[in-house]
Amino acid sequence: MRYEPITWRERVGTFAREESGPTASEYAIMLAVLVLGSMAIIRSIGSGFRGIYMTIASQIPDA
């Protein structure tokens, strides 16, 4: 039996023909959208809490 190396084109072609290839790509895109959305929400909430904290801190007299 002779070993023949697989080229990257053959690997990409095999990956594209398999049903798990598109599924993995879809999951990767969904994960990226979820991560970016979560980052935007967390940043927005953080800014809101910072404003509330600064308002409260400015109303507390210095000890």
Q: What is the pLDDT of residue 35?
A: 96
**Distance between CA atoms of 38 and 45, rounded to whole angstroms?**
11
C-alpha 23/C-alpha 19 separation (Å) is: 7
Q: For residues 34 and 27, is the Cβ–Cβ distance under 8 A?
A: no
Q: How much is the mean pLDDT over the chain?
A: 83
Question: Amino acid identity, residue 10?
Answer: E
pLDDT more than 70, % of the chain? 84
Per-residue model confidence (pLDDT) at position 34: 96
Taking only the tens place, the pLDDT of each residue in 6-18 is 787 887 777 777 7
Q: Tell me the pTM.
A: 0.50
